[in-house]
């Protein structure tokens, strides 16, 4: 299954908050770790993106 990786690094896997919204700045490539301003979960950027991509894959598979 192929999924779009768009915003997977910018989206909190726990609560769905997207960095760059609600007055926050988007993460840069130099930002390797970040804390969600909404739920305060600390993320390692690549791990968070991997969880989001996995979830997108599960959702896409269920629709098929």
3-state secondary structure 3-49: CCCCCCCCECCCCCCECCCCCCCCCCCCCCEEECCCCCCEEEHHHHH
Q: At 64, is the pLDDT very low, low, confident or very high (cuts 50, 70, 90)?
A: confident
Provide the token pair at 41: 């979960």
Q: At 47, is the pLDDT very low, low, confident or very high (cuts 50, 70, 90)?
A: very high
Phi, psi dihedral angles at 55 (to 5 degrees) = -65, -40
Residue 36 has pLDDT above 80, yes or no: yes
Per-residue pLDDT averaged across 16-26, rounded?
A: 97
Instruction: Give the global pTM.
Output: 0.91
């Amino acid at each position: 299954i192929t999924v779009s990786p768009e915003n997977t690094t910018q989206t909190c896997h726990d609560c769905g908050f997207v960095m760059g919204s609600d007055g926050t700045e988007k993460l840069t490539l130099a930002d390797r770790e970040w804390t969600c301003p909404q739920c305060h979960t600390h993320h390692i950027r690549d791990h968070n993106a991997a969880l989001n991509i996995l979830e997108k894959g599960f959702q896409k598979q269920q629709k098929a």
